[in-house]
Structure 1
Amino acid sequence: MEIPVVVQVLLINMGIYLSTPKTDKLSDDGENDKLKFGLSSMQGWRASMEDAHSALLNLDNETAFFGVFDGHGGKVVAKFCAKYLHSQVLRSEAYSAGDLGTAVHRAFFRMDEMMRGQRGWRELSALGDKINKFSGMIEGLIWSPRGSDLNNRQDDWSFEEGPHSDFAGPTCGSTACVALIRNSKLVVANAGDSRCVISRAGQAYNLSRDHKPELEAERQRILKAGGFIHMGRINGSLNLTRAIGDMEFKQNKFLPPEKQIVTANPDINVVELCDDDDFLVLACDGIWDCMSSQQVVDFIHEHIHKESSLSAVCERVLDRCLAPSTIGGEGCDNMTMVLVQFKKPISQNKKPDVGEQSAKSVEETSAAEENGS
């Protein structure tokens, strides 16, 4: 997440930034007969790594799944999403019916549901590093006084949901930006300020929208739910408006999940791929704070034939974005990037206009239909 310059020195003193960046990278590559991918992540100047990712070439026999999850206040929600979100998409009835957009939309909300209750606590605790037994804190998780009473509990997600749950859910959170590719159909779902960009004949097109407090629709939802915006941040703290987790911003019992101060409600964008499509990029805001979508696309085109693998191209982008010092803030965040290259030909379809594609959430689409637009 972006951090204001005025608090840089304080953050360094508090230990949020390291004295020297960790430039070791976790990288991977893979391919099948339709796609080729590379990915890389780097901790950088941050004191801990809070990003996570998913890369599944075969979610089933005809569908690939890629995701980037950028945690804040702790890494456990990002890791939880990387572990479970794709499986919840796969288990959805909508997925079985071929409706990928509805399936992934439901899976985002399902993450919040699954993290409540005792099983959610146990799983999040296992994904964290350590727990302070005196304060009861583990990376944004608060232990319930009734939490040790597990003898009669069934180890089932749905059993532990609802108003009688002992664990309200994590106070840390994560963005989620995922892409599903099935034949010539691309479905992008996004909540937060990670971003998905496609290169079509060398031109960058954003397939997601950065959810920030300055967006009017986001501001209206925040205010109606009882929140406020101070210095560009929700309640003076969070600088993005949609995320999985962050349960402290989802406590209004009179509002549905999509209308809370912070919501996991993803924008869904469905795109028909064509032979002009070169590659797809999913990356956290640690990249987009330093380079525009077009700059990233141009950089990849410049290096994709010079490097031995797609992950090496991602590593070059991470090195390009890494700041020489923590003065200024940009280039000091965790960085994760997934690069997906399409093998040609993708389809025989005529070229659609991606520039006119709109990333609308299911909620917004329904509202438009109700208003007759």
Structure 2
Amino acid sequence: MDLFDDLPAPTNSETPSQPSRGDHREKRKRQVNPEDEVVEERTCEEKKVCKGLARIKGFVASRRGEREDMQDAHVVLPDMSSCLPAPPAQASRLAYFAVFDGHGGAHASRFAAEQLHRTLADKFPKGEAENLDKLIKKCLLDTFRQTDEDFLKKASSQKPVWKDGSTATCMLVVDNVVYVANLGDSRAVLCRSEPGEGGAEDRTVTLALSKEHNPTIYEERMRIQRAGGTVRDGRVLGVLEVSRSIGDGQYKRCGVISTPDVRRCPLTSNDRFAILACDGLFKVFSAEEAVKYVLNILQAEPVERKEGQTEEEGRYETACQRLASEAVRRGCADNVTVILVSIEF
């Protein structure tokens, strides 16, 4: 799988997984439908990006679910420029949004939330660089590797040693181009409108911006087995549900890596919003259901809003909060963290 894939095809058929109760291992096991692993590929035509920068704003909601503690972490930075040593010469706007889903503890997720964007800022291309797109993708790969190494070094110095890990789904917006780097089973999806055929009304499509990494996927399982690890009951060594993560030092020798998939998506005037969320949401919502749920709230009657918020911002805030709460109401026992990123040209 090319790590530098552009935007994948929209997912047209997903079945939400049933919520799992009573499993308190490092990541909850869920049933995998073999048909869900077959993704129809189609060529996505890139639409011309609208002139001017899209207005980007992030809204976040977190719920503990039935867990005793919150192991998720998140970052919302609509303006990341202040984190950079020097403003990039070729980018007018940088924004960063990220969700980290910890397992076995919260050390890795909190460390990644505090450090990953700082490392990204330090490594971000400086000056007038040619082929900025390629440099950004390399920068993201290096950032994930460095963050993992830094955490493992800190974890090994603790007494007792930290053995937890974390997924990561990060969205970097450079002007009007989105780069999503992810590892593990947290996900990112984009809501986009497409013209209907023959004068029909526009239709809404849900585009996957990330790829799930678990040991049941053939390429992931083969890498783990080549490294001397085993996959039992869909988990690495029968314990760890994800095949890529930050941390999990005891599994690195078994083929668990910190290399993310990196995907690129130019924003268009037809884009409405993106959802970044941990697997707690997607255990009880399909991607399409989550997008439809948000759309219904955005199109509903006026909602209450916080002081200083516009009506539109109030709708997004309400949609984000209700989506997270609905995941818990549907029986998700896991932590749930949702970031809803509005996009407006």
Question: TM-score when scaled to structure 1?
Answer: 0.67
Structure 1 position 304, deviation (Å): 2.1
C-alpha deviations, 1:15-53, integer Å up to 9, x for none? x9xxxxxxxxxxxxxxx9721221111111101100000
Structure 1 position 195, deviation (Å): 0.2
Alignment of 1:159-238 (within 5 A): 170-201=162-193, 202-238=204-240
Describe the shift of the 1:64–1:288 C-alpha distance in structure 2 as closer, same or farther (beyond 3 A).
Answer: same
The residue number in structure 2 matching 1:100 is: 136
Measured in 2, the distance between the counterparts of 1:264 and 1:102 equals: 14
Q: Structure 2 residue aligned with 1:76, among 79, 101, 107? A: 107
- Does the CA contact (< 8 Å) of 1:70 and 1:176 recur in 2? yes
The residue number in structure 1 matching 2:271 is: 277
- Does the CA contact (< 8 Å) of 2:19 and 2:284 recur in 1? no
Does 1 or 2 have the higher relative contact order (CA < 8 Å, sep 6+)?
A: 2
- Does the CA contact (< 8 Å) of 1:228 and 1:235 recur in 2? yes
The residue number in structure 2 matching 1:255 is: none
Say whether residues 1:50 and 2:92 are aligned partners: no
Measured in 2, the distance between the counterparts of 1:235 and 1:53 equals: 28
Alignment of 1:259-298 (within 5 A): 261-298=255-292
- Does the CA contact (< 8 Å) of 1:323 and 1:332 recur in 2? no
- Does the CA contact (< 8 Å) of 2:73 and 2:110 recur in 1? yes
The residue number in structure 2 matching 1:314 is: 320
Instruction: Give the strand-richer structure, 1 or 2.
Output: 1
Alignment: residue pair count:
266
Structure 1 position 323, deviation (Å): 4.2
**5+ long unaligned stretches in structure 1:** 17-31, 126-135, 143-169, 252-259, 325-329, 345-373
- Does the CA contact (< 8 Å) of 2:184 and 2:212 recur in 1? yes
SS in 1 for 2:255: coil
Measured in 2, the distance between the counterparts of 1:278 and 1:4 equals: 28
- Does the CA contact (< 8 Å) of 2:95 and 2:173 recur in 1? yes
Measured in 1, the distance between the counterparts of 2:19 and 2:257 equals: 23
Measured in 1, the distance between the counterparts of 2:107 and 2:280 equals: 18
- Does the CA contact (< 8 Å) of 2:63 and 2:328 recur in 1? no
Measured in 2, the distance between the counterparts of 1:36 and 1:278 equals: 11
C-alpha deviations, 1:68-105, integer Å up to 9, x for none? 00000001110001101011111115466433221111
The residue number in structure 1 matching 2:50 is: none
- Does the CA contact (< 8 Å) of 2:54 and 2:343 recur in 1? no
RMSD: 2.5
SS in 2 for 1:44: coil
Amino acid at match of 1:79: R
Describe the shift of the 1:95–1:248 C-alpha distance in structure 2 as closer, same or farther (beyond 3 A).
Answer: farther
SS in 2 for 1:219: helix
- Does the CA contact (< 8 Å) of 1:40 and 1:337 recur in 2? yes
Measured in 2, the distance between the counterparts of 1:4 and 1:231 equals: 17
Measured in 2, the distance between the counterparts of 1:47 and 1:235 equals: 25
Question: TM-score when scaled to structure 2?
Answer: 0.72
- Does the CA contact (< 8 Å) of 1:89 and 1:95 recur in 2? no
Measured in 2, the distance between the counterparts of 1:104 and 1:212 equals: 21
Structure 1 position 313, deviation (Å): 1.2
The residue number in structure 2 matching 1:90 is: 121
Measured in 2, the distance between the counterparts of 1:304 and 1:238 equals: 38
Amino acid at match of 1:217: E
SS in 2 for 1:221: helix
- Does the CA contact (< 8 Å) of 2:18 and 2:283 recur in 1? no
Measured in 1, the distance between the counterparts of 2:18 and 2:205 equals: 30
Amino acid at match of 1:55: V
SS in 1 for 2:79: strand
Amino acid at match of 2:326: R
- Does the CA contact (< 8 Å) of 1:227 and 1:261 recur in 2? yes
C-alpha deviations, 1:53-73, integer Å up to 9, x for none? 011011116100000000000
SS in 1 for 2:222: helix
Which portions of structure 1, spanning 4 or more consecutive aligned residues, are displaced by more than 3 angstroms?
2-5, 93-98, 119-122, 305-308
**5+ long unaligned stretches in structure 2:** 1-16, 29-52, 82-91, 194-203, 306-313
